[in-house]
Amino acid sequence: MLYVFHGTDVAAAGTKARALIESLRAKRPDAAFEKLDGDSWNPSVIEGHLGGQGLFSSKYIVFLDRVTENADAKEGLPDILAAMNESTNIFIILEGKLNAELKRSVEKNAEKIVECEAKESAAKKPEVNIFALADAVGKKDAFRSWSIYRQAIDGGAEPEALIGMMFWKAKSVADKVLAKELIVLYHEGHRGRRDLELATEKLLLTIGR
């Protein structure tokens, strides 16, 4: 019988393969266990286990741990998968991403196939320091204020929160004109008279003029 675990998430596939091995060995304590990898690959060992049983046990459990890292194994493995599946012994194969030929052969011959694919993590958006925005506003640096504001908005920040931060900074540097403009902008935005995001952007570009 043949079980195959493979995929781009080799760690997950390996965990599942080893869990099966532990379960089988617990159920069949008399079964002999043998592990082969790319360095210890020996086709004669596989051939010897295809039909035979252990001298002192009724079954063999053979674990092939990424044997295709060996060029000979990679070439010869597809030809013996059918015999593995028909064997009274149990063969468990762990691989990474399978090439097209081996994948076709596995799909045709294995009793059970478990594929583990690594999830593509979304690119993490850089965190924006809103205190840097307040600092740029306090220094009346229009371009830097606009740039940090834009990054914060693109990262999911709400205009209201940023306006609150900028209002606090305007008050702390005694910029009464900017503080008043921000209050007016905030209220007009909430009344639907202005697009809050766009209007704030335009206001920042006029700082220092």
Could you report the per-residue pLDDT of 132-164, keeping only the tens digit for each?
888 999 999 999 999 999 888 888 888 888 998
Q: Is residue 123 part of a domain?
A: no
Tell me: pLDDT of 54 over 90: no
Q: Examine the domain organization and report whether 7 and 108 are in the same domain.
A: yes
Tell me: pLDDT of 64 over 90: yes
Tell me: pLDDT of 19 over 70: yes
Q: Is residue 135 part of a domain?
A: yes
C-alpha dihedral sign at 84, 86, 87, 92: positive
> Residue 167's closest CA among 205, 208, 200?
200
Q: What is the residue-wise DSSP string for 146-158?
A: HHHHHHHHHTT--
Tell me: pLDDT of 65 over 90: yes
Tell me: pLDDT of 107 over 80: yes
pLDDT of residue 44: 87
CA angle 119, 123, 127 (to 5 degrees): 135
Task: Domain count for the chain, please give it.
Answer: 2
pLDDT of residue 161: 86
- Supply the mean pLDDT for the chain: 87
Tell me: pLDDT of 12 over 50: yes
Q: What is the pLDDT of residues 160-188, one digit of tens each?
A: 889 988 999 988 888 899 999 999 998 88
Tell me: pLDDT of 208 over 80: no
Q: What is the amino acid identity at position 168? A: W
Distance (Å, whole) CA 28 – CA 1: 15
Q: Of 60, 80, 115, which one is at a domain's C-terminal end?
A: 115
Domain with 196 in it: 130-205
Q: Examine the domain organization and report whether 144 and 110 are in the same domain.
A: no
> Residue 116's closest CA among 184, 18, 49, 39?
18
The token pair at 153 is: 């908005």
pLDDT of residue 122: 46
Instruction: Read off the pTM.
Output: 0.56
Q: Examine the domain organization and report whether 98 and 146 are in the same domain.
A: no
pLDDT of residue 53: 53
C-alpha dihedral sign at 70, 71, 76, 82: positive
Q: Examine the domain organization and report whether 78 and 11 are in the same domain.
A: yes
Tell me: pLDDT of 25 over 80: yes
Coil vs helix vs strand at 172 = helix
Q: Is residue 170 part of a domain?
A: yes
Confidence of residue 100 (pLDDT cuts 50, 70, 90): confident
Tell me: pLDDT of 110 over 90: yes
pLDDT of residue 99: 87
Tell me: pLDDT of 55 over 80: no
Coil vs helix vs strand at 37 = strand
Tell me: pLDDT of 31 over 90: no
